[in-house]
Copies of this chain bind each other. A is one copy, B any other.
Amino acid sequence: MRIMYLVPGPMGRSSAGQAELERRGALLKQYAGPGTEVGIVDVPQGPASIESMYEEYLSIPATAQRAVELEQEGWQAIILGCYGDPGLDALRELVSIPVIGPGEASALVAASLGHRFSIITITESVIASTERQIRNVGVGEKLASVRVVGIPVLELHHDRERTIRATVEQGRRAIEEDRADVLIVGCMSMGFLEIAEAAGQQLGVPFLNPARVALKFAEALVGAGLTHSRRAYHVPPKLATGKVKSAAELLHA
């Protein structure tokens, strides 16, 4: 099966970003099961990183456009490469192949592994939106807490050890103070630094890397022949009735 990881920002614009894209692509290949071809692609326009709802929304138009193309190119599932799942519902309106939100998928898998999970993410600015996201996924009553390491996305790479230490510290507090029994890394950059894998060994509870889990969830859906319901995610009416010919026209219709 062919699964594409879609980065909702122009990561490849710089050479460092291009290298990071390739590094992530290589990790995804490691995570993939036998028989899975996994690609990675970014979009030409969007915010450098996503740390606010405004940046989430800025990322959606170009990403949705790219998702439509990926379906036309024959990919069988798309992983929306941001933990906040920005525009997940819109992408599902526009394509018929499964679109996996790493935030949604990791929350659902976490719900099967314990009774209460906590999310360790980047900055205080995303706590409230993450809580709302999990409630909307439908497993809000299993959310123990959202805790932050207090390191901006673009600085996470500079000192991986510091990020791991801060994650272990917050994970420990989530377990002891918030009674979490499962943890999730709430940021794809932290995911691809394999912070969950490193911190999980020290904490003794399942610690989910959303990149890895999203890929497994995508494989599961494609393998089961399942995709989202069209009664839940309607084709936009102007498209459904032929008033416009493509999603792209909706912006100017």
Contacts and interface: CB of A to CB of B under 8 A. Distances in A.
Interface of A: 31, 33-35, 45-48, 51-58, 60-61, 64, 87, 89-90, 93-94, 100, 104-105, 108-109, 111-116, 123-125, 128-129, 131-132, 135-139, 141-142, 152, 175, 181-182, 204-206, 208-209, 212-213, 216-217, 219-221, 223-224, 226-234, 236-238, 241, 247, 250-253
A233 B124 CA distance: 10
A223 B247 CA distance: 36
Contacts of A53: 87, 89-90, 93
B87 A250 contact: no
B94 A54 contact: yes
A138 B111 contact: yes
A18 B237 CA distance: 24
B224 A51 contact: no
B251 A226 contact: no
B57 A64 contact: yes
Given A206-B226, A220-B219, A175 B34 contact: no
How many of these chains are in the complex? 6
Nearest to A124: B234
Contacts of A112: 100, 104-105, 108, 137, 217, 221, 228
B90 A52 contact: yes
A60 B123 CA distance: 23
B51 A236 contact: yes
B114 A232 contact: yes
A229 B236 CA distance: 34
A181 B221 CA distance: 17
